[in-house]
Structure 1
Amino acid sequence: MSKILIISAVFAPEPVVSAKLSEDIANELALDYQVVVIAPKPTRPFGFDLQKDENNQTIYRLQNLDSYVFPESKLLGRLKESYSFGLACKKYISQNRKNIDLIYMNSWPIFSQYLIVKTAQKYKIKVVTHVQDVYPESLSNKIPRLSFILRFVFLPIDKFVLKNSFKIIAISNKMKTYLAKTRTLSESKIEVVQNWQNEASFTSYKQKENQDRRIFTYMYLGNIGPVAGVDLIIEAFAQASIPKSKLIIAGSGSKKEELKTFVVKSKIVNVEFLEVPDGKVPEIQGSADVMLLPIKKGAASSSIPSKLPAYMFSKKPIIGSLDIDSATAKVIVESNCGWVVEAENVAELANKMKLSFKSTKGSLLEKGENGFEYAMKNLSKKNNLSQVTNIIKNALL
């Protein structure tokens, strides 16, 4: 029986997209192969109370490596975390190389990926690399003043990682085209599989009617970090000043306390912050009328955040505030599941909030159904998980 090592930067019980993806992949592959998962100690998202199910029985083996962890959004801490986890992975691979036929890697960029691929190359072990975001470009967008230095230092490292990966999984066609061009890769080396949500938890949930139809509810549910742009939707909600409405911010993250303080100091009314217990996403989203998807400019041009399919599976219309040419904006427009405004345009976002408030119940339901149908065809676990596991299985041949 072939032996597969899954290296994941996050893993269960962390309720974040890459953790869920890696867990789904581990469970599926373990039906036919011997699977070991290595990951850091669980810390994501920042500030979330992680409850590990000690009775959870798995058909794969999970080992949390002893490496430095840094859940906050600070560059130096994150780079140290990546390097430390890379060293821990290097040690594990070296000690267990005779029991590894293939590595599936969804790890922290830059340093951990480099150390993993470099070590695997030494022992002639194939690596399938799952790219969730493009680095160092993603860093450059967040810190424009350091753009030249970041690209000069880190781009050659990323090129090495991808050139020496046996197969690359990109999460959008735009990402595939960009990586092939900027890393001088053959497009045949890159497979496109969009990230998925487990549709079963949404389809099995019997959605309840909004208990108080007098209150129109806007909702953001996801990580409350610096890239998310949650501050923009709070400002837009205040600017829109829609009667008989409220804004719910559900989730955890490094910016949550700062935003709660901002709401209080700015005297913005009808804004609520909620925790999201694991497994409760369908129920919480079920109380919304419109879901909000803000992403800071340049932060997600080629990737689709996990919030999007989750929103769509809840059959909710979506207002996206993001780069108009991004893959996420394209999905919202193609599926006709909501509205899109340019990233960081607070005035236009406020206008779209007003527009959705004035829309008929029937038109909102129609947009929600449009999103659900699109997500079932393109963003479901049923369709997309098998595509990833088939790529991994074929790499073993």
Structure 2
Amino acid sequence: MKITIVAPYCSLPTEPHFNRFWYLAELLAQKHDVLLITSNFKHYDKSFRRPQDAETASQGRLRVMLLEERGYRKNVSVARLQSHHVFVKNLEKWLENQKNGNIDLVYSAYPFIASNLVLGKFKQRLGYKMVIDVQDVWPESFSAVLPFMKKIGHRNFPFAARADKAYAYADGLVAVSESYLRRAREANPDAPGEVVFIGADFEALESAPAKQFDPTATRFFYLGTLSFSYDMETVCKGIRQLADEGLNVELHVMGGGPDLEKLKQYESKAIRFYGYIPYTEMMSVAKGCDIAVNPIHAHSAASITNKLSDYMALQKPVLNSQIHPEVAEVLTLVPHENYESGNVKDFVRAAKALLNQKNGSVQSEEIIRRFKRDVSYRKIVNLIERLGNEKTD
């Protein structure tokens, strides 16, 4: 099959972040011809790729193409919308130059809404099947920036009709959580679908040696973005209060984002910020720590995130503020304690409670079944190949 993957935020192998779409591209390229289309702009550090980066990443039946966009400095900005518009226009120009039979199946990341609308528009002329992979629900994610929107029914959100139209184009649906798949199926109830968590690279995790720390301290850790969806300020204040009370605790924060500089005011002997570091180094630090922190604001629309997949693979206890039924069910696989986001006193209470049960039972076999990528991603491959066979029958 000739498969095109459209993933604007995809990380390439030399870059520090895991990306579902690169992993899937390599998996599919074992049997199929794969073209991965991504952006020349790196969202995570706001820098541009060079044309030769695509050549370096391409490997035989897996080819990489970079589409130009303008770039932006802030995640929430008019400049970001304008940049995405340029990417989508360039995608449209590329599709206009394709012939029927050049593409058998398109596997597309959602969001963007606009890129999926363009891909849907060309489906009939170019004769391909289309699978949409729902990484985030948009425009519902507005609630992370504007919490009052949580009270509005999501079908009344701005752009909800455009989102429905994008979902409706899909011949197959994949989502990183059951709730995201359910949202897509509101607009496309008959499409076959699979829930496949982001998952984790268990092999890379196993090969990373645990970093050696002072064995007398209890180390909390956080992996990922530092932005408006994550209440890291409460975590920093809580750790500082625990230290002030005489507990030997530390916080290790790996990742970056727009809130990093503001949070650095809390940097101390007990609180360390690493910034972006390679995945294996991040796993080494995490393996040397004791308790993971999942500090998502209560008003966020997020569900099973990248960091939660890594936390599950690490099989560490989790201190959690995220309110989501699917997350609550997943957390039953490890020792955990919940606290109210924004409430330092409740964070301290929950942290102390988790210290007393951090050696509780872990459901390792179930974690492997749900989160080990070479196991769970076969469901995506099977869906793609099934749809491809329908096209050729």
TM-score range, shorter chain: 0.7 to 0.9
Aligned twin of 1:27: 26
| 2:175 counterpart of 1:173 | no
Pick from 208, 213, 216 the counterpart of residue 214 of structure 1.
216
Pick from 354, 364, 375 the counterpart of residue 358 of structure 2.
364
Q: Flag the 1:284–1:207 CA change in 2: closer, same or farther, 3 A.
A: closer
Q: Cα deviations across residues 14-51 of structure 1 (Å, max 9, x unaligned)?
A: 4445xx21111111111111111110014132368999
| 2:76 counterpart of 1:84 | no
Q: Flag the 1:33–1:385 CA change in 2: closer, same or farther, 3 A.
A: same
Shift of 1:167: 1.0
What value does the CA root-mean-square deviation take over the aligned residues? 2.8
SS at match of 1:104: strand
Q: Is the 1:196–1:306 Cα contact (8 Å) retained in structure 2?
A: yes
CA distance, structure 2, for counterparts of residue 50 and residue 252 of structure 1: 19
Pick from 340, 356, 373 the counterpart of residue 381 of structure 1.
373
| 2:129 counterpart of 1:131 | no
Question: Unmatched 5+ residue regions in structure 2?
Answer: none
Matches within 5 A, 1:109-128: 109-128=112-131
Aligned twin of 1:286: 287
SS at match of 1:291: strand
Q: Flag the 1:226–1:50 CA change in 2: closer, same or farther, 3 A.
A: farther
Q: Flag the 1:236–1:118 CA change in 2: closer, same or farther, 3 A.
A: farther
CA distance, structure 2, for counterparts of residue 173 and residue 238 of structure 1: 36
Shift of 1:107: 4.5
Shift of 1:188: 4.8
Shift of 1:258: 1.7
Aligned twin of 1:337: 335
Name the aligned partner's letter for residue 198 of structure 1: D
Shift of 1:70: 2.9
Q: Is the 1:79–1:111 Cα contact (8 Å) retained in structure 2?
A: no
Q: Is the 1:227–1:299 Cα contact (8 Å) retained in structure 2?
A: yes
User: How many aligned residue pairs are there?
Assistant: 378
| 2:258 counterpart of 1:254 | yes
Q: Flag the 1:329–1:80 CA change in 2: closer, same or farther, 3 A.
A: farther
Matches within 5 A, 1:1-397: 2-13=1-12, 14-17=15-18, 20-46=19-45, 58-59=59-60, 60-70=62-72, 72-98=74-100, 99-144=102-147, 151-181=156-186, 183=187, 185-186=188-189, 188-207=191-210, 210-241=212-243, 242=245, 243-260=247-264, 262-263=265-266, 270-275=270-275, 276-301=277-302, 303-323=303-323, 325-333=324-332, 335-357=333-355, 359=356, 363-367=357-361, 370=362, 372-397=364-389
Question: Unmatched 5+ residue regions in structure 1?
Answer: none
Shift of 1:293: 1.0
CA distance, structure 1, for counterparts of residue 40 and residue 359 of structure 2: 41
TM-score by length of 2: 0.86
CA distance, structure 2, for counterparts of residue 198 and residue 293 of structure 1: 19
TM-score by length of 1: 0.86
Q: Is the 1:7–1:103 Cα contact (8 Å) retained in structure 2?
A: yes
Shift of 1:3: 1.0
